[in-house]
Chain A
Amino acid sequence: MAIRVNPTFIDDLNRYGAEDVQLCYQCGDCSTVCPHADDMYIFPRKSMRFLQMGLEQKIETTLEPWLCYYCGQCSIQCPREADPGETMMSLRRWLISKYDFTGIARKFFKSRLTEVLTIITVAVITAVFLLFYGFSGGNLTIYDGKGAFLPSTFIHRFDLTIGGVLLIFLLTNAIHMWYLVMIKGTDFPVPWWIYIKQLYQLPWHFFTQKRYSECEKKQEHPVFMPWLIHLGLMFGYVTMLVLVMVFIEQLQAGPEIRWQVHIFGYLATIGLLTGTFYFIRNRIRKNYVQYKKSHGTDWVFVILLFYIVLTGILQHVFHRTGLNVAANITYVIHLMGVVPWLLRMPFSKWSHLIYRPLAMYFAEIRREAAARQASIIQTVPVLIK
């Protein structure tokens, strides 16, 4: 397959955060120190090379950016200060925008203004819609039950609609990713049974994030800190998503606390709060290599999440203490953050939640298929006339 070279690719990637790729002189120090590089997937040097050569078509089919968890060792070691770690991060951003067929992600990554304006617009539309709905049928002084300002059945339906939209985008993007990686980027046959055999990779990597913890062995972090906190954040997030999507009616009932549901909510809140606090603090302090450069979308990500968690807590407190008016108002404010956040998910950094485990899954499939192919080639003698 002929590969077209895109000479402006490297300039294009500048907007995603990779500024110093051109400095790289291909010494291979980064691949050497990378805890995840192995014979099948050698990075970051190779990705840097592809970038320098403008091999856009090659990079869009690679999995290497997803295999990197940005421990920053490569950027520390780099003799040219070309920042391979940040380049891999930028490639992940670029890949997200590549998998997204709508082109919205590309706009968001390239212009912070567009992103912020879109979020504000969606937030305002949400507020107008909710207030209109609330005042047309409900009473601001009632939080739950009959005549409620925002009844839980309505919120449930509202959630499920947004969740459906979200799922459609995520699934199509995931299929696009599968097409790019496994069809376009794999030049050897992959039998279907390997897909099934390796299926356990998906939940395994989703729930343990084992590779992230492997990343830290060489780090000077306090023991397993980012991994543990990231894991807490992820579990908190997923729990919250399930609670909101499925158990919203039980959650919203009150004012007494139903421990069988709420205990999960509290645990999830702790995970979310520590996570967002930790990552915001690191990004401000710039204390480790991976937090030295923050792309605009990184800030939007953590700040919006922090906002949602904070308003959610406030709303919960108001409701449980019987301040129904305040609870209803904070509910609207809370949803003003949640709706843009959820709608933004497939187009933002958030989507790594699904791409990462998928990438590990594909990577293992590819590895096994390649090994099978190699053994076939070895065992079948080639006749040369």
Chain B
Amino acid sequence: MRTGIFFCQVQDNMNLNIDAIAKYSANLPDVETVQILRLKPLPTIDFICGQIRSNRLERIVLAGDMPGYFKPVFTKAAALTGANTDEIRLASFQEHGTKGENAMDRAKAIVACAVLGIPFPLAAVPGGNPVNHATLIIGGGIAGIQSALEIANAGKQVYLIEQTGTIGGHMAMFDKTFPTLDCAACILTPKMVSVGQHEMIRLLTRSNVVAVSGKPGAYRVKIRQKARFVDVKSCVACNICAEVCPVKVKSEFDAGISLRKAIYIPFPQAVPNAYLVDETSCTYILSEGQKCGACMKKCPKECINLNEKDKIIDIEVGNIILATGYEFLDVGKIEQYGYGVYPNVLTSIEFERLTNASGTTGGRIVTKTKVTDKKTGKEQWIFSPEGMPPKSVALIHCVGSRNKKYNPYCSRVCCMYSLKFAHLLKEKVPNVNVYEFYIDMRAFGKGYEEFAERIKQEGTFVVRGHSASVAMKNGQMVVRGEDIFNDRLVEFDVDMVVLAVGLIPSQGTEEISRLLGVQRDSDGWFSELDYNGSPTDTDKGGIYVAGMCQAPKDIPDTVAQASAVAAGVLRSLTSGKGIGHMSSLSLSEIESRAKKIHTI
């Protein structure tokens, strides 16, 4: 087939030398002409028709970062000249992951496949290494739990490791899920329990990956399991130890709005359902056995051992799933909202815990009350169940998101959870005024737009316009904003402000990307191989991404991606072809494979 190659580059790509690729592709069989086009001026139809006629082209290959942009012009030209419009092939560099060291080879291979008329993923199949049937899942949130259950239910061994004392992740902290307003715990806790009881899942809490070696299909992973100081099997969660423990620290599970003891259970439905000791605050551990130790003496089951040491566990796995999740941006550094200055300015996760029935106020939405510490005489603002309910609440969207100074990206869930908060406020606090300050309402999912409409009808004041200032005037919090649709500036007296804080990759993401050699994008999230085509794979063979650690996404998307990952893992286990690194595939390998397929 007489082929013409057109390089259509919208903007310069630092990784690629287009001239070198053009030189390479000119030597490919049947290539009649190679042209390098620019965006400005756009290639005219006359020029393209002339090229097709003079070279009598039968196949046109458009190569570039986004060649689809140029396709309509070429289709028109091909139709005008009578050439076959089906033979316009796209060689998209961006779509097939031309980044990193071997970007040039990859780009050449993409062009070579397009010239032969073979889809690139068909020719570029890494393989070879036999696969160990065990799978490691890093992160015990909803994504990790879902993947673990899918794989384990298929009868394969799973190691699920989790950094904290319980699985469940952020979803366990939530009250309701949008847009259905289902109880989050009702969906999550049965899954958690089945993870805890599954014979094919080995759950390692308080664990971190410290070293990874080996190749795809046979990774050797070294895991450090921090001492729990409580025997999981014999602990019955009777709470006697926590009653005697003298140390009080902020509860991570309650997002810091309530206190817990140094020996604690994160929440009553925790899996494994056993207490654990926080080694950073326990008096006995900090004093190296000199002081306290009250819980050890009181425990009726004698399952507390404060002298326990960390363990190193070596495992061998074939596939690794990354489900490390996310964190919230530190809002303290965005000064204009007064977080940390005014007591009743809350982050979204704090509000989530406040409104949760298992939270510190039992689900009553109240403003903070001032209490004086009897011993130190310090004044503190805390949530107490007897607190006053707020008369009006402002919900501010896009705090730190879509902002070039903090997160340039959209955190994707904030609009919806803020709307959910508005509903919960209207439901739980009678006669409350709720003001939503938003920039753009991103209600993108199934039923989300309807949910947004419903919230508006419930009487929430939805103000199109961001607020950039929370101030205190005569002891009253005032939120100022521009109401763009009504063309006025507004100032509302509010008792509580909830900030829809942007999301960032969790702390350990960088460390794990270094250990496993998985690339991260400019915002710090894990890079998938191809955003459209293979959103769960990475360029390392046998390593997958699921959930928030790839990019912000809501619970349905996370669960869907987690299940998709399980499909990828099970495919590699059952296909018998083995797995290899996509990035280690050489140009000649892809070329020879493409030729082989071409001759069939």
Q: Which of B403, B405, B482 contacts A28 (CB 8 A)?
A: B482
Interface window among B107-115, B219-227, B466-474, B521-529: B466-474
Residues on the A chain within 8 Å of B405, using CB: 79, 81
Q: Is B188 interfacial (CB-CB < 8 Å)?
A: no
| Cβ proximity bits B465-492 to A, threshold 8 Å, 1 near / 0 not | 1111100000000001110100111000
In contact, A27 and B469 (Cβ under 8 angstroms):
no
B480 surroundings in chain A (CB, below 8 A): 32
B488 x A42 contact (CB < 8 A): yes
Quick check: A29 and B489 within 8 Å, CB to CB?
no
A80 to B401, CA, bound (A): 11
Q: Contact check, B404 vs A80: say whether CB atoms are below 8 A apart.
A: yes
The total of chain A residues at the interface (CB under 8 A) is 19
Partner of A79, one of B402, B440, B465, B488: B402
Within 8 Å of chain B (Cβ to Cβ): is A310?
Answer: no
CB atoms of A28 and B440 under 8 A apart: no
**Is B143 on the interface with A (CB-CB < 8 A)?**
no
User: Chain B contacts of A42 at CB under 8 A?
Assistant: 482, 487-489
- Per-position binary interface string of chain A over residues 13-39, scored 1 when its CB falls under 8 Å from any chain B CB and 0 otherwise: 000000000000111111111000111
A26 with B489: CB separation less than 8 A? no
Contact B403 A79 (CB under 8 A): yes
Closest to A32 in B: B468
A172 within 8 A of B: no
Q: Which of A31, A79, A80 contacts B489 (CB 8 A)?
A: A31
Contact, CB under 8 Å: A37 / B404: no
Q: Is the CB of A27 within 8 A of B488?
A: no
Assess the A31–B488 pair: CB atoms within 8 A: no
Closest to B437 in A: A28
Contact across chains for A45 and B484 when beta carbons are under 8 A apart: yes
A46→B488 CA distance, assembly (Å): 11
Contact B468 A26 (CB under 8 A): no
Q: Mark B325-339, 1 if CB is under 8 A from A, else 0.
A: 000000000001000
Given A32-B467, A79-B405; A26-B481 close (CB under 8 Å): no
The answer for the CA separation of A45 and B469 in the assembled complex, in Å, is 16
A32 touches B482 (CB 8 A): yes
Per the 8 Å Cβ criterion, residues 228-259 of B in contact with A are: none
B429 within 8 Å of A by Cβ? no
**A27 touching B489, Cβ below 8 Å:** no
With contact pairs A32-B480, A37-B489, A38-B489 given, residues A27 and B404 touching in the complex (Cβ less than 8 Å): no
Q: Chain B residues with Cβ under 8 A from A32's Cβ?
A: 465-469, 480-482, 489
| Residues of chain B contacted by A80 (CB below 8 angstroms) | 403-404
**A33 touching B484 by the CB < 8 A rule?**
no
In the assembly, what is the distance between CA of A25 and CA of B408, in Å? 13
Nearest-CB distance from B399 to chain A (Å)? 10
Q: Check B398 for interface membership: any CB of A closer than 8 A.
A: yes
Residue A77 lies at the interface, judged by CB distance under 8 Å to chain B: yes
Known: A33-B468, A79-B398. 19 other contacts (CB 8 A): A25-B439, A25-B440, A26-B439, A26-B484, A27-B466, A28-B465, A28-B484, A32-B465, A32-B468, A32-B469, A33-B336, A37-B482, A39-B489, A42-B489, A45-B482, A45-B484, A79-B402, A80-B404, A81-B405
Which B residues contact A (CB, under 8 angstroms)? 336, 398, 402-405, 439-440, 465-469, 480-482, 484, 487-489
Q: Can you name 14 A-B pairs with beta carbons within 8 Å?
A: A25-B402, A28-B439, A28-B482, A29-B466, A29-B467, A29-B468, A31-B465, A32-B465, A32-B469, A42-B489, A45-B484, A77-B468, A79-B402, A79-B405
